[in-house]
Structure 1
Amino acid sequence: MFQRQIETRAIFRRLFMTWRVLGIILWPFNKYLRIIYDILMNIFITFAFPVHLTLGVIFSSNQEQFFTNLIIGIASVSCTFKHLLWRSRLAEMQQINEILAQLDDRVRVREDYEYYKRSIERLCNFMINFFTRCYFSVGVTALFIALITGELLYPAFMPLQWRTSFWNYVAAILFQFVGVMLQIVQNIANDVYGPVVLCMISGHVHLLANRVSRVGHDTEENTQSNYEELSKCIEDHKLLMSTSKTVERIASLSYLVQFVAVGINLCIGLVYLLFFADNYFAYVYYTIHITAIMIELFPCCYFGSMLECEFHDLSYAIFSSNWPTQPRPFRRNVVSFTEMTLREVTMYAGGMIRINLDSFFATCKMGYSFFTVIQTMK
């Protein structure tokens, strides 16, 4: 008998460390100190840092500063909105962890365990590492460029006369670097949870399909055991459907903000690239920026499509079970189960935009159409 047990919740431990850094999840010390820490973090990161970038747009002295501040400011403000939206759903996120732990108990076959290690755990850890390394490398690169050029990380509004004193410059650089690093932590918490949880749920739907397809093959003569196993599969399907709806409710507004921010930044980047960029550095910077914001959107859309496909394939898994040799009550449940699995499972951002690859490619097409229109005007 295979004894290894999976633990999907373990994947979230590193991710939930970001919430601890932000002061939201309790550390093992005095709760009043945690509240003070949380308030200070919100004043400094959630509000002060985006405000100083937004004011930089208003007080920009040239076109390059205006567009740079505008793009960074939109990204920062959208990060703040997403952070507040995710924060308000933290209790539901903890409930999803408990549901995933319940589904973990169903994995008792080596084939399923190997699928979990290969296609769930490895992918989730890759996404966490990928987002963490990419986001922090952006902050470190911005610091190096600022120190080499003697400028700020971002040409935002700064009340200090940072050009007049070495210590004023150090204070301004330190404020921006700490601010961008902590907002990167916010962004990791915002952007990683959605793809990771969608990957986990789609993986558990696949594991459910594996269990369904095995019903009746190993214990053909034990009809009662087969009936009970089918009933458990039906209950797990209902649980996965309700969990998908809960994830949609949690992530809906956050991903609507992300789609809107990506669309706006894409258009602004293309406008600057075609009309105002006058050096190779600007061309390279904005080309990489446009590519980066599209890559940021890709994982959630990809796993949204994966979730749709895995739910769709469940009906085929049911017919792979040994249902013809089973008694009438079993076959009746098979018919009911099949009808349930024929329902399309699609997640929406804000109830309007489907979270799948169709929306991602539609965004790419929108950017290309906008590019051709502006190029014609140019």
Structure 2
Amino acid sequence: MTDAEQEQPELDTHSAVHYHWRVWELTGLMRPKGISGVIYAVYAILINVVVTILFPLSLMARLFFTHNMQEMCENLTITITDIVANLKFVNVYLVREQLHEIRVLLRRLDARAKEVGHPEELAALRSEVEIAKSGFRYFARIFVFGTTLSCIRVAIAPERQLLYPAWFGVDWQRSTRAYVVIYIYQLFGLIVQAVQNCASDSFPPAYLCLLTGHMRALELRVRRIGYDSTDVMEPRWSGSGDGEAWQRQMHTKLIECIQDLILIYRLRSIIQRILSAACMAQFACSAAVQCTVAMHFLYVVDDNDLSAMILSIVFFAAVTLEVFIICYFGDRMRSQSEALCDAFYACNWVDQLPRFKQDLLFTLARTQRPSMIFAGNYISLSLETFEEVMRFTYSVFTLLVRVK
């Protein structure tokens, strides 16, 4: 083993969602080891009642006290975004058993990759893990920027303002104590909601990365069947007495790859179940939020409110980015599934036993249709879908501009 190989960390593809599990533990969804179940249950109920339930209720209540269209747009922007974020957070709670099942499957697939030990396969898996972790960090930066911008906007406002328009039933404009308490509560709720939303928005692409990585590793494994182990892909069959033993060995490798393929399809099926509702909710609200933010931007441009304009742009970019990312990684996974199908054609099947070719034909029949993830079991996660969403948003926005 070389020094470079020794410096590589132990393969653990589930570490790609390490940040997400820490967030779910902190926000009351996954009980960490070593903590009493009763204590954690009390903590989970408390933080979710105070933030996950009361925070959006205060935002929705404010809708009944808006005085103009600008206030309505500003309130709808944060209210719709927050409600959808909470729905995705609840979805994580509902699919937590499937998340544990995914961890088990990833360990089995990791064990196979380590057993094979091919450096290119291991590098492909580690690359996907890093992409998934980077995605969480990028989302975190966006939410930190948005939260900071909200605080700055309140600090430089000529009059008292809340971080976000909400109703609390007290006159916080005249009472300093009430304003400080509400401000602290909103800041705490905003931070918790931002952390929840960061994990909820970044875990779909993270799991798609893991699925893509294991498909890539299996693709490389399948392409080597029947070829020499060197970098040059040359058929390895001597035609001598040991030819039949070599053919049996290649058939065994094919069977092992088919078993790995079954695990990957099982992983894809579970990921489909956990992402279907979350992605559908994201698609359902994105166009509405984009149009609302765009209308709010038009109104604040008329008032020359620079901080509000910047906040509107940040919201518009954030909701658009959320849809683009899940569509991009869904499309990327589909392309990789097509490459995996091509790998079965590319292996050296010509020199193999009849039963090898028979098993290969059955496998090819199953892999002909590309693997895709669907939002609501209907809308595919692909770049074509993102294009359709943007077209729909633009059409609705132009209609609203005419109404204005």
TM-score for both structures, normalised by structure 2: 0.88
Which residue is equivalent to 1:24?
29
The answer to whether the 8 Å contact 1:160/1:172 transfers is: no
Which of residues 251, 262, 265 in structure 1 aligns to 2:286?
Answer: 262
The answer to whether the 8 Å contact 2:129/2:209 transfers is: no
Q: What is the one-letter code of the residue matched to 1:209?
A: E
Q: Are residue 227 (structure 1) and residue 232 (structure 2) matched?
A: no
User: Per-residue deviation at 1:375?
Assistant: 4.3
Which residue is equivalent to 2:207?
197
Which residue is equivalent to 2:344?
318
Q: Are residue 60 (structure 1) and residue 70 (structure 2) matched?
A: no
User: Per-residue deviation at 1:319?
Assistant: 2.0
CA displacement 1:125-169 (0-9 Å, x = unmatched):
110110112112211221222123231101211223212232222
User: Per-residue deviation at 1:277?
Assistant: 4.4
The answer to whether the 8 Å contact 1:83/1:190 transfers is: yes
User: Per-residue deviation at 1:275?
Assistant: 6.0
Q: Are residue 351 (structure 1) and residue 399 (structure 2) matched?
A: no
Q: What is the one-letter code of the residue matched to 1:190?
A: S
Q: Are residue 124 (structure 1) and residue 132 (structure 2) matched?
A: yes
Structure 2 gap segments, 5+ residues each: 229-235, 238-242
State how far apart, in whole Å, the 2-side matches of 1:263 and 1:368 are: 9
CA displacement 1:64-88 (0-9 Å, x = unmatched):
2221111101111111111111111
Which residue is equivalent to 1:113?
122
User: Per-residue deviation at 1:103?
Assistant: 0.8
Q: What is the one-letter code of the residue matched to 1:136?
A: V
The number of aligned residues is: 377
Q: What is the one-letter code of the residue matched to 2:142?
A: C
Which residue is equivalent to 2:232?
none
Kindly name which structure, 1 or 2, has the bigger radius of gyration based on alpha carbons: 2
| Segment of structure 1 superposing worse, 59-68 or 250-259 | 59-68
State how far apart, in whole Å, the 2-side matches of 1:283 and 1:234 are: 54
User: Per-residue deviation at 1:276?
Assistant: 6.8
State how far apart, in whole Å, the 2-side matches of 1:127 and 1:8 are: 15
Alignment of 1:149-168 (within 5 A): 149=157, 150-168=160-178
Which residue is equivalent to 2:95?
89
Alignment of 1:205-244 (within 5 A): 205-218=215-228, 220=237, 221=243, 222-244=246-268
The answer to whether the 8 Å contact 2:276/2:374 transfers is: yes
Q: For residues 172 and 377 of structure 1, do their structure 2 counterparts lie closer, same or farther at Cα, with a shift above 3 Å needed?
A: closer
State how far apart, in whole Å, the 2-side matches of 1:157 and 1:374 are: 27
The answer to whether the 8 Å contact 2:16/2:130 transfers is: no
The answer to whether the 8 Å contact 2:140/2:198 transfers is: yes
Identity of aligned residues (%): 25
Q: What is the one-letter code of the residue matched to 1:229?
A: K
User: Per-residue deviation at 1:274?
Assistant: 4.3
State how far apart, in whole Å, the 2-side matches of 1:37 and 1:58 are: 32
| Segment of structure 1 superposing worse, 41-50 or 217-226 | 217-226
Q: What is the one-letter code of the residue matched to 2:173?
A: R
Q: For residues 350 and 209 of structure 1, do their structure 2 counterparts lie closer, same or farther at Cα, with a shift above 3 Å needed?
A: same
Which of residues 355, 361, 369 in structure 2 aligns to 1:329?
Answer: 355
State how far apart, in whole Å, the 2-side matches of 1:289 and 1:138 are: 8
Q: What is the one-letter code of the residue matched to 1:239?
A: L
User: Per-residue deviation at 1:337?
Assistant: 1.4
Structure 1 gap segments, 5+ residues each: none
State how far apart, in whole Å, the 1-side matches of 2:60 and 2:73 are: 11
The answer to whether the 8 Å contact 2:334/2:371 transfers is: yes
User: Per-residue deviation at 1:344?
Assistant: 3.1
Which of residues 308, 331, 341 in structure 1 aligns to 2:367?
Answer: 341
State how far apart, in whole Å, the 1-side matches of 2:74 and 2:198 are: 22
State how far apart, in whole Å, the 2-side matches of 1:145 and 1:322 are: 64
CA displacement 1:177-204 (0-9 Å, x = unmatched):
0011111121122111111001110111
Which residue is equivalent to 2:233?
none
